[in-house]
Amino acid sequence: MLLVAGCGRGGKRFPYGEGYVFVDQSGRRVRLDTFRGKVVVITYFYTHCPDACPLTMANLKRLYARLPDSVAGRVVFVAVSIDPERDRPEVLREYAGIYHINFPNWFFLTGKPEEVKRFIREVGVIAVKGKITVTPRGDTTYFLTHTDYVHVVSPDGRIVYRGDGERLNVKEAYERILGSLP
């Protein structure tokens, strides 16, 4: 419950400086620290998610569309996969294409499983793998029960908004973004 208490006006600190390195949908290494100094809208998802994640992506696109051009370039959207075993860069690229997300300031990230687990734990995200089954074709499948947070991080690294992605309050997130811009 510390995250809930820390996300008010003062804001919990985002884990910049912890050395997190991920890989984006193009296969490029991305240091989380490179986003420091910008407003960051970040969510935690996986590409095989049948319910909350597609709604979260739709809500984030609505939020992005609401931003004026003068602001959109100063805000970075980041989606960190909580399923790095399946969500390789090429899978993330395909997923972004399905949602017609081809904006230069959107990053879909994956990484080493232990790094992803450490990161999501630090930001208060829970992800629990369900029963693993094998399809007749031999594919392994499972679902993850997870929190579907969206955070807005101010340029100075404070989490100034936390909402549920599938029920994202686009108006409030938008206001927090604008209120965080220098």
State the residue range of the domain holding 13.
2-180
d(CA 98, CA 68): 24
Phi, psi of 40 (to 5 degrees): -120, 130
Q: Residue 2: pLDDT above 70?
A: no
- Please write the tens of the pLDDT for every residue from 59-76: 999 999 999 999 988 999
CB-neighbour burial class of residue 111 (10 A; exposed 0-12, middle 13-18, buried 19+)? buried
Phi, psi of 106 (to 5 degrees): -115, 130
pTM: 0.90
What pLDDT band is residue 10 in, cutting at 50, 70 and 90? low
Any idea what the CATH number is for the domain that residue 157 is in?
3.40.30.10
What is the predicted pLDDT for the residue at 121?
95
What is the predicted pLDDT for the residue at 73?
86
What pLDDT band is residue 21 in, cutting at 50, 70 and 90? very high
- The closest of 16, 8, 2 to 156, measured between CA atoms, is 16
Q: Residue 6: pLDDT above 50?
A: no
Kind of pairing, strands 75-81 and 106-110? Answer: parallel
Structural domains of the chain, count: 1
| Percent share of the chain, pLDDT over 90 | 87
The residues with which 79 forms a beta bridge, in sequence order, are 43, 108
The amino acid at residue 100 is H
**Average pLDDT of 128-134?**
93
The amino acid at residue 4 is V
